[in-house]
Amino acid sequence: MSPRKIIFDTDPGIDDAMAILFAHLHPDLDLVGITTVLGNGSIDTTTRNALYIRDRFAIDTPVLRGAASALLVPDEEPPTFVHGDDGLGNVKIDHTDSDPAPGSAAQFIVDTVMASPGEVSIVAVGRLTNLAIALDIEPRIADAVAEVIVMGGALGSNEYTGNVTPVAEANIYGDPHAADMVFTAAWPTVLVGLDVTMTCVMRRPQMQRIRGQSGDAGEFLWDITRFYENYYRERRGVLGFPVHDSCAVIYAVAPELFGTVTGALRVVAEGISRGQTILVPAERTFPPSAWDDQPHSIGCIGVDSDGVLALYEDILRRGA
Ligand code: BDR
Ligand code: CA
């Protein structure tokens, strides 16, 4: 079987960088493009980081610059306390002078999906702005895409209901209008949220093994994750760090590692619950509501965390 084509929409970002390398090295995935969005840094920062990772690891794929702001909510300062001032853990990096490919991320998504109907999946691990703009440019991508897998949100199936507010996860909070457009469009969507990503915590001994056995990728990941590990230990009391964005890529190749629920998924766009993701399971009935007659999404509510982390390590080791 030929590898599955994916567009990786991302805001690198330390855990984004981890996920890019996994997607690049997995033999069943064909990374046909990396599209950037603001989030863990400004659009200049996330695009520069994507280009750096692409060039350093000789990943044969274009990088397209995406949205610099959310659709409607105002810009906020990037979370430099999580990902560093440079978005990659404040390690010394000699950036290349590569430029992104011409055109916008959203137009690239439209062109790539429409060129190969049914063949291209999108894995989105930042704000969903580029995807919403792509839907606006060409609504027929909803029929033509194979699958849309999103790292974001939380369904309240365990204690991790939010990370930027008590009910909101950063990617969804950062552009809630775009997220609601994405989950109410008629394309197959999967939400890989904090319910599962917060239990996929890579601890130091495993990261040390990856450093030792995965060549330059291992060294790079070790370096950039020091800052991230420190943030989770000091500010969140977590020993290790969640591999949020890798979970979404891993869903694409190993969905059997996840427990799921299916139903209409809406995003709260305004007010104190801004960014909350609420999925109504298909079998539940309520009086008329905003979830009626909406397309169904798959939401991840359980995960074999050891399986996810072992697969990550294995693919990185085999790629060295
Ligand atoms: C998500 O937000 C970003 O900081 C991470 O890269 C991840 O995509 C986790 O809430
Ligand atoms: Ca991200």
Cα–Cα distance for residue pair 114/158, rounded to 1 Å:
38
Atom of ligand 1 minimally distant from the CA of 164: 10
pLDDT in 10s for each residue of the chain, 320 residues: 899 999 999 999 999 999 999 999 999 999 999 999 999 999 999 999 999 999 999 999 999 999 999 999 999 999 999 999 999 999 989 888 899 999 999 999 999 999 999 999 999 999 999 999 999 999 999 999 999 999 999 999 989 999 999 999 999 999 999 999 999 999 999 999 999 999 999 999 999 999 999 999 999 999 999 999 999 999 999 899 999 999 999 999 999 999 999 999 999 999 999 999 999 999 999 999 999 999 999 999 999 999 999 999 999 999 87
| Cα 263 off chain centre by | 21
Domains of the chain: 4-318 (3.90.245.10)
From the alpha carbon of 11, which atom of ligand 1 is closest? Answer: 6
Give the ligand whose atoms come closest to the C-alpha of residue 232: 1
Distance from C-alpha of 301 to C-alpha of 315, rounded to nearest angstrom:
24
Q: Tell me what pLDDT residue 1 has.
A: 80
Residues with CB under 6 A from ligand 1: 13, 15-16, 40, 82, 125-126, 151, 163, 169-171, 244-245
Instruction: Locate 241 and state its tokens.
Output: 């760090």
Q: Which ligand is nearest to the CA of 194?
A: 1
User: Which residue of 42, 151, 228 sits with most ligand 1 atoms within 8 Å of its CB, as the best mutation to test the pocket?
Assistant: 151
Look at the pTM and tell me if it is higher than 0.95. yes
CA torsion through residues 149, 271, 155, 171, sign? positive
Pocket mutation for ligand 1, best pick of 46, 235, 244, 246 (most atoms within 8 Å of C-beta): 244
pLDDT of residue 320: 78
Helix (H) or strand (E) holding 170: helix 170-174
Residue numbers annotated as active site: 11, 244
Give the DSSP letter of residue 257.
G
What is d(CA 169, CA 153) in angstroms, rounded to the nearest whole number?
Answer: 5
User: From the CA of 295, how far away is ligand 2's center (Å)?
Assistant: 25
Give the model's pLDDT for residue 131: 99
In the prediction, which pLDDT does 96 show?
A: 84
Choosing from 10, 14, 16 the residue with most ligand 1 atoms within 8 A of its CB, the one to mutate for a pocket test is: 16
Kindly give the number of the ligand 1 atom that is closest to the alpha carbon of 125: 8
Q: Up-side HSE of residue 298: CA atoms within 13 Å toward CB?
A: 19
Q: Cα angle vertex 179, ends 176, 184, to 5°? A: 125
Among all bound ligands, the one having the nearest atom to the CA of 169 is 1
Q: Which two tokens stand for residue 173?
A: 């909070």
